[in-house]
Amino acid sequence: MKYSKFFKAVIVSAIFLTTATGALAQISTDAKLQYNKGIDYYQLGQFEQAASCFKQAVELDPNYIDAYYNLGSILEYLKQDDAALAVFKQIILRKPDDYEAVYKAAVLSKKVGEDAKAKMYLSLIPQESSFSGKARQLEATLNPADDPEPQMDEYKPQTFQDMNPGSLSNGTYEDISSPTGLVTDNQGNLYVAGFSDNTIYKIGPENKKIVYIKSEKIDGPIGIAIDKDSNIYIANYNKDNVLRFDRNGEITEIVTGVQKPYCLHITGDLLFISSQGSNSIVRYKIK
């Protein structure tokens, strides 16, 4: 069960916090600690402190859905509707079939006076969803006549704009902050470095984008590469080093002192790094 009856009893105005049981195994330890602190603050009625902890949890692990949900719910309770809506959008981006989050986004859109956007969110909820009834009730209260129809692409988790219907040969992946390096793996996933937000994005074969790597160690990622064991290497331009992200989610600094590392290339067990700051190429054995 996603929600705790105890939490429902604490705040009558329907702030439903998830207890995060089943998904914790894949969440980083530091993020779990912040999440649990948030629960403790919540139980004490210290909602702003709880929100701060949940925010830190998602910063530590950008795919921590339960922490997003709790953060959004508390922000809504604190009447910070715009901020709450932004949080629920993050859930939809990562898990587009979380129709509870989609419904909450519709509710919050109505609260901030964007009825057309609320209607758009409601249209994403299928008839077989348990939230379908609530969605239809909310839809009946909307008056989108004076609100310009939003562009659906702004909210779709898919970021691929197909320029050739029926084919994926031509198109554009959009809404990536300052994209630099990119690489693909054998499963058809595309990894893209976002320079300005220090993020590595992953776009799967189904064309859904997620935040894949986010760490304080990353500062100005440019070139990226992947080896046969699916380890990802990142040219950390502003830190003059190269990082390795392994299949266990660990980020390790493997090469230091490279002046402004730019492009990466792997062949066999050798990693080649272009050093823009020293006008040279660095060769490093990765095994």
What pLDDT was estimated at residue 251? 92
List of residues 6+ apart from 199 with CB closer than 8 A:
62, 177, 193, 211, 213, 214, 218, 221
Domain boundaries, the chain: 5-143, 174-285
Per-residue pLDDT of the chain (287 residues; tens, 9 = 90+): 233 323 332 333 344 455 444 444 467 788 899 999 999 998 898 999 999 999 999 888 888 889 999 999 999 999 999 999 999 988 887 788 888 999 999 999 999 988 888 888 888 888 888 988 998 999 999 875 544 444 433 333 333 344 333 445 577 887 787 899 999 998 889 999 998 888 999 998 878 888 889 888 999 999 999 999 899 999 999 999 999 998 778 899 999 999 999 999 999 999 999 999 999 999 999 97
CATH 1.10.3720.10 applies to domain 5-143? no
The predicted model scores a pTM of 0.49
| Amino acid 24: pLDDT | 43
Q: How far apart are CA 58 and CA 39, in angstroms?
A: 14
Q: How far apart are CA 259 and CA 261, in angstroms?
A: 6
Q: What angle do CA 211, 216, 217 make, to 5 degrees?
A: 100
CA distances from 106 to 18, 67, 68, 153, 209 (A): 20, 20, 16, 16, 22
Residue with tokens 């008839």: 127
Q: What is the second-level CATH architecture of the domain 174-285?
A: 6 Propeller (2.120)
Round to whole Å and give the CA distance between 112 and 59: 25
Phi, psi of 16 (to 5 degrees): -105, 105
